[in-house]
Amino acid sequence: MKRARLALVLGLFALPACSRAPAPASTPADDGTSLARVDGVPITDSTLQELAREYRRRHAGELSEQDKQELLTKAITDELLYAEALRRELHKDPKVREILTNMLVRQQLAGAVAADVATEDKLKAHYEAHPERFVLPEKRRIRRIFLPVGESGAEGDDAAKARADDLHARIAADPDAFAALATEHSAGPFAVRGGDVGLVSDDNSVGLPEQVLQGAFEADVDALPAPVFAGGGWNLYRVEDVRPRTVRTYEQSRMRIKRELEAEAYKTALAAWIDELEANASVQRYEDRLQGWQPTPAAPVPHPGEQASPKEEPATPNTDEGDVNDQVRALMEKDDGQ
């Protein structure tokens, strides 16, 4: 019987746990409709119906009598584990509390917020009120060679300028040589990419010297401007592609607008709901105690190359499906050996 129950649990652990409300303080008397009771808590028709729906998603055909017995055993097992988890006060674990509060907030707000926001009039009004947010700026793919001057190990100004002129002449004679020459001669993180800086807009997120950025946005594709001294060295650059400025249509932007408005409405609704909960609760803040409170000092961060000492933590069972199944199999094997 022990082995049969373990095997049954092993097969049914793939089914999600059935949802339930917290157990009442006092269990009701049996009304003749429950399918089982665990310490007085009824296993109801709705509990088994939920398990049956999930079971049918995985298995074709009608449920046999054995299938129904297995589902009931699953429900009983689930209730036993749930009751034990409550007895051990696992619902007070910080991670479990976070899961519960997130579920509560989604249940309270998500549906109402989505229904309120997702009207075409509101979405279109937002699109028309903020046209600048749906413009994709012009971007240019830039390839660059940078020869620093005056830094430790760098050439002097005259030598760097002579080398910049020489590289400029070599690239002008053979444009395909730019990438190889950048890898060999350029300083900076883009050298390993053959000097390819990527697509750059006028917001200059990659931090190019202003003279280089301005020159690149004025240059024609594949043109090779004269070397420019900027950013502490000599720069050779070339524009290899241009992505023109485009305006996204309402249809292209609709889902982005919907997500943004939902997020904004969600935050507003959450703040209002929290204020309501706080107004109906007794909340005392001890500001004088807070002033004297200090967090526990953080553990020192090991230097590069040092190995952090392992942190000893109490062993806790892993609830991942595979690990639970492994634990059940281990119990079964132990049972076989007895």
pLDDT tens-digit series, residues 249-302? 999 999 999 888 888 888 888 899 899 999 999 988 888 888 888 888 877 766
Q: What is the pLDDT of residue 307?
A: 52
Q: Name which of 232, 250, 36 is nearest 150 in CA terms.
A: 232
Q: What is the pLDDT of residue 60?
A: 80
CB distance 328 to 13 below 8 Å: yes
Domain ranges of the chain: 2-88, 105-131+248-278, 138-244
Q: What is the pLDDT of residue 219?
A: 95
| Gyration radius of the chain's alpha carbons | 33
Q: Name which of 278, 263, 260 is nearest 110 in CA terms.
A: 263
Q: What is the pLDDT of residue 238?
A: 96
Low-confidence stretches of the chain (pLDDT < 70) are 1-30, 118, 151-156, 301-338
Q: Specify the CATH number for 138-244; select among 3.10.50.40, 3.30.1330.10, 3.80.10.10, 3.40.50.2300.
A: 3.10.50.40
Q: What is the pLDDT of residue 205?
A: 85
Q: What is the pLDDT of residue 163?
A: 92
What separation in angstroms does the CA of 30 have from each of 34, 41, 47?
Answer: 7, 9, 16
Q: Name which of 201, 212, 208 is nearest 236 in CA terms.
A: 212
Give 65's Cβ-side CA count (13 Å radius).
0
Q: What is the pLDDT of residue 61?
A: 79
